[in-house]
Amino acid sequence: MVTAYIDTPLGTAYIEGDAIGLKTISVLETQEKATNIIPEPLEEAAYQIKEYFEGKRKSFNLSLNPEGTAFQKKVWNALQQIPFGKTLSYLQLSKQLGDVKAIRAVASANGKNPLWIVIPCHRVIGSDGSLTGYAGGLHRKKWLLDHESPVKQQTLF
């Protein structure tokens, strides 16, 4: 398993993986020094994340190898089907997965997503359109949704 740190507009991202696939991508609350030479198994991930933040990439094409339960992996697979620039509520996601009563379990699996941005858990919102919980902080969730929005809000001042 190899690791790297890369700079993003939302802070330092930590990447961990190997030749099989990515295990973890997370945004850190502390500033870490960016890795000078990205290990070969992580080069493509670092490149695609950079393109995403530059607005040049709308989807990721990476080998993933996250650790989780079968249910969590089912939720994470469903999250990857939410298109760039779109959102889905936890209720809609639960219905999609076939059990409206599983909303809390779906929300819990969403919150345990180990692959920040690549598995787009930030695209899941409350049924009323609110920006509910986000492990990376609601300010980051808002930034990511604004970044992906097809309509760019102009400032008045």
Q: Are 13 and 6 in contact (CB under 8 A)?
A: yes
Supply the pTM of this predicted model. 0.91
Q: What is the DSSP secondary-structure string of 124-146?
A: EE-TTS-----TT-HHHHHHHHH
Q: What CATH number was assigned to the domain covering residues 70-148?
A: 1.10.10.10
pLDDT interval class at 133 (50, 70, 90):
confident
Query: What is the arithmetic mean of pLDDT over 115-122?
Result: 96
Q: Are 114 and 25 in contact (CB under 8 A)?
A: yes
pLDDT at 157 over 60: no
Round to whole Å and give the CA distance between 34 and 129: 35
Alpha helices in 12-131 (DSSP H): 43-53, 70-79, 90-96, 103-111
- Single out the catalytic residue among 42, 45, 121, 125: 121
Beta bridge partners of 7: 12
Residue 22, helix vs strand vs coil: strand
Task: Note if 121 is an active site residue.
Answer: yes
* Domains of the chain, residue spans: 2-53, 70-148
Percent of the chain with pLDDT over 90: 84
Residue 5, helix vs strand vs coil: strand
pLDDT at 65 over 90: yes
